[in-house]
A and B are shown apart, each in its own frame.
Chain A
Amino acid sequence: MMEHFSINRREFIQGTGALLVCASTAQSQSNNLPGTLNRNNNLDTWIRVNRNGTIEISPGKVELGQGIVTALAQVAADELKVDIERIHMIPVDTDRSPDEGRTVGSNSMIQSGNALRVAAAHARQILIENASVRMNTGIGQLAINDGIVSDRRSGRMISYWELLSDGRFNAEADGEAQLLDSSEYRYAGVSVKRFDIPGKVFGGQSYVHDIRLPGMLHARIVRGPRRFGTLGDVDVSSVTGRPGVVNVIRDGNFLAVVAEKEHQAREAAEQLRAAATWSYQESVHGSASNPHLLRELETTLDQVSLSNPDGSETVREYQAEFSKPFLSHGSLGPSCAVAQYENGRVTVWNHSQGQHQLKGAIADVLGLDEENVRLIFAESAGCYGHNGADDAGCDAALIAYHMPGAPIRLLWSRSDEFLHEPYGSGMSYSINVGINADNRINRWHCDLWSCSYSTRPSGGDSAGGLHAAQEKTNPLPFPIASDGRQPNGSADRNAVPLYTIPNQDIKEHLIMFPPLRNSALRGLGAFGNVFVIESMMDIVAHDLGEDPVDFRLRHLDDYRARDVLIRARELAVAASPIDVPANMRLGRGSAFAQYKNSNSYVAVILDVLVNINNGQVRVVRAFSSADVGEIINPNGVSNQIEGGIVQATSWTLKERVLASANGSQSRDWSSYPILTFSEVPEIEVSLINRPNERFLGAGEGTQGPTGGAIANAIYDAVGVRLYDLPLTPDKVLAGINS
């Protein structure tokens, strides 16, 4: 247990004691509620008690493979005082589930976790009050064990599922109910096994791909090589004559084929693709393959950070240019959706991170009222951000709209997913850092150029960003480029160092007309920004001859930031020596960030072996310490940290979207290779649990530090400083040879 002062979790969730005193009006009561509960304050939206002794929990967040559903069940079971086996988690259904916004930004524990905790406490209070009345006993005499309320004196018992006549609470959450003391929690901090994994290892119906409706037809989409193309005349007769082909749908520049069997649809789509011609007004700008060329494009300027000098003289300057390429989400399973349009209402089973948001967008695309659009979440392959999920949902809805009554299963092809998903934007940086006579950083000036990391669709202006919205007859207006802003940031996420540094001047130059389609990819700008910050910290530390971890600690005031760095260093120092072959050089690199400067604290220290003959870099092992606040499921958090390190190692060493004047050329796993088993590091994770601190989230904090640590380890190994991601063998070898 850490000794430092901290805000008590309950105070944080409920507000201060002073606020509670004021909570006599409805308005100030609602101010005490976690945000997503405040917006969905009907308890029955969240919790239902069934007569059979099961309890339905209906959060607004979705399972992306991050284990959130199990963690939320733990929170609910604890606060309701029931066995977790009773909990039945409901996937988001826009007809039923609360709108908690999208499942993004490592926010799910912060939003849904806190909301469920407060909702469940209120539900428990209602249940025990009902029991008190029914049993004619003071609440103080009652105990709860697995949903059974018992009178300590008489021994009489009544269950939750007998207490509500219709399973409904008919109450609005007010945040007044007392949360349990954490000592009463049975599941918080316990690595409960994930609910979804057995289905995935035994072949259960786990994914949207597995939905099979009676009479379901298979659809494929036929798109041009990139967006904004004009489709020429297509002779569909050869395709419509193929066995099993039911329909070819052309709606403006939107082209799809529907068949009885899946392979019939696949083959017909390939035939249509060969017959289709696309014309474009412009070729793709060279910045698609060289992010530094983004500086040639039209931008809007955002001042990310601006602070005063501290008066000390800058005695040395460090100037550098960095870049990060366009990256693919590379979901292992291509996007998929099942849709049916009946009686004027469309239902879409899909894997978007924002069910309520995509509902609005699809309503706009189809010209339906929102109440005539129902979205139901079903799992898919990991998305790591805004991949093809939303587009596939909209594609399926549009096809179904053209074929009333027929259930339509749309699956994107592998090349559809690679070519038509929105990428994580390329970025270019120019940075100037200064130090004073005390060897402290006293200036941090950075310009970054990027396309938007925030183009997710919802009802209204952003719906036009969907492919089908642009392609259909009477396309929706294309959204004007915009990006998120501080403090969360978007392209500028984590562009502001957490280190104590005066005289900051950080600017984002947002590209107005991107060369490629872009949106949110895990960590958004944090991957590139932390790579740059941690490279610069390393450059300055080495120039000063100071240990890079000590140099960072000297600029960090936040004890929790310091603690993860120190813990990661302890892990690394304690590790056994590595045998270094004659043609290899060993290097160690470190990096740190607090995601969004408000979320998880993560330090990564890793060892690389660099082959001096061919420049190959192998990350041999990684040590990480993370502080995500209160931990509900330690194994789940560790899984996120481990996976983040592996994925970011892949990004850092191997990945970039290949592009030409005709757009992306990365269409499969041979043109977009990722890290494989023989290249994956061993990983050791140490979590710092702070049970009395608020949830911080765990999903994205590792990306940036991993990239920075690899660059710094390569420098440590062979003295080569690399500035342009990915850190490929040719760049390493060129550095060694110069």
Chain B
Amino acid sequence: MLLRVNGQEVDVDVEASTPLLDVLRNDLGLNGPRFGCGLGQCGSCTVLLNGTPIRSCVTPASAATGEVTTLEGLGSPENPHPVQQAFIEEQAAQCGYCANGMIMSAAALLERNANPSDTEIRQALDAYLCRCGTHTRIISAVKRAAGRAS
């Protein structure tokens, strides 16, 4: 099966029904998307498909037709995405397990709305769960990435 992940075409030998998350983590060795529930409820596994956040744990690999972007494809320590940089600046994590979904979703939000209000940020992230309670820092990080450092 041919997939396009983080700007590269990859050929993976998997069954079509294999969840995209498994392919990204186990066949391509990526760590960014994380297994949280396998039910599409928590958002830890989020990747972008053609720029739109999707839950890779409930998306069959065969449905990933288009450009898949993971946390690794968003930016790197040498060339961080503004949202990744803002998460570091704001120390917007405790355990950090949810950070992938938060960052991917926030990056997509800023693509379609460069200057979201607090309410819009909360709405965009409402279906992404954080158990450590770092929500207010995450909101600050998204605002910082949007050029509104709090």
Contact = CB atoms under 8 A, between A and B. Distances in A.
Interface in B44-58: 44
Contacts of A670: 41
Contacts of A261: 14, 18, 22, 26
Interface string B56-85: 000000000000001110011100100010
A520 interface: no
A280 to B, nearest CB: 27
B131 A331 contact: yes
A263 B41 CA distance: 18
Interface string A186-224: 000001011011101111111101101000000000000
Interface string B103-147: 100000000000000000111011111111111111100000000
A194 B91 contact: yes
A529 interface: no
> Which bracket fits the contact residues of B?
35 or more
Contacts, number: 173
Interface centre among A204, A414, A635, A636 (most CB of B within 10 A): A414
Nearest to A379: B95
A43 B76 CA distance: 38
A225 interface: no
Contacts of B17: 263
A34 B38 CA distance: 45
A677 B93 contact: no
Contacts of B15: 263
Contacts of A197: 87-88, 91, 93, 96
Contacts of A198: 77, 88
Contacts of A196: 96
Given A332-B36, A414-B36, A678 B136 contact: no
A332 B22 contact: no
A interface, over-half SS: loop
A683 B87 CA distance: 18
A172 interface: no
Contacts of A591: none
A262 B26 contact: yes
A271 to B, nearest CB: 15
A333 B34 contact: yes
Interface centre among B77, B94, B121 (most CB of A within 10 A): B94
Contacts of B32: 202-203
B130 A332 contact: yes
B132 A680 contact: no
A384 B130 CA distance: 13
Given A65-B95, A202-B84, A639-B94, A414 B38 contact: yes
Given A200-B93, A202-B80, A676 B127 contact: yes
B137 to A, nearest CB: 7
B132 A263 contact: no
Contact of A635 (B42, B91, B131): B91
Contacts of A266: 38
A67 B94 CA distance: 7
A203 B130 CA distance: 17
A201 B91 contact: no
Contacts of A639: 91, 94, 134, 137
B91 A202 contact: no
B98 A332 contact: yes
B19 A210 contact: no
B91 to A, nearest CB: 5
B26 A683 contact: no
Contacts of B127: 676
Contact of B42 (A191, A201, A669): A669
Nearest to B103: A201
B21 to A, nearest CB: 9
Interface string A619-638: 00000000000000001100
A678 B133 contact: no
A66 interface: yes
A495 interface: no
Interface in A313-335: 330-334
A408 interface: no
Interface stretch (A338-346, A497-505, A641-649): A641-649
Given A263-B18, A331-B131, A381-B131, A203 B72 contact: yes
Interface string A370-383: 00000000011110
Nearest to A413: B38
A669 B22 CA distance: 21
A674 interface: yes
A196 B99 CA distance: 12
A678 B126 CA distance: 6
Given A382-B97, A643-B133, A680-B135, A203 B71 contact: yes
Contacts of B94: 65-67, 382, 639-640, 643
Contact of B35 (A203, A209, A668, A676): A209
B29 interface: yes
A643 B29 CA distance: 31
A674 B70 contact: no
A676 B129 contact: yes
B4 to A, nearest CB: 18
A620 to B, nearest CB: 12
Contacts of A674: 129, 131
A367 B117 CA distance: 59
B129 A669 contact: yes
A647 B87 CA distance: 20
Interface string A470-496: 000000000000000000000000000
A150 to B, nearest CB: 34
A205 B31 contact: yes
Contacts of B87: 197, 201
A670 B100 CA distance: 21
A64 interface: yes
Interface in A638-678: 639-640, 642-647, 650, 668-670, 674-678
Contacts of A203: 30-32, 70-72, 100
A197 B102 CA distance: 14
B149 interface: no
A220 to B, nearest CB: 11
A94 to B, nearest CB: 22
B2 interface: no
A198 B19 CA distance: 27
Given A197-B91, A204-B31, A677 B97 contact: no
Contacts of B42: 332, 669
A669 B37 contact: yes
Given A202-B71, A677-B135, 11 more contacts: A65-B96, A196-B96, A200-B93, A201-B84, A202-B84, A261-B22, A381-B97, A645-B133, A647-B133, A669-B37, A674-B129
5 contacts: A197-B93, A203-B30, A263-B17, A379-B95, A678-B122
- A-B pairs, 9 with minimum CB distance: A646-B133, A65-B95, A200-B96, A203-B32, A643-B133, A382-B95, A381-B97, A65-B94, A680-B135
Interface of A: 64-67, 191, 193-194, 196-198, 200-207, 209-210, 212, 261-263, 266, 330-334, 379-382, 384, 411, 413-414, 635-636, 639-640, 642-647, 650, 668-670, 674-678, 680-683
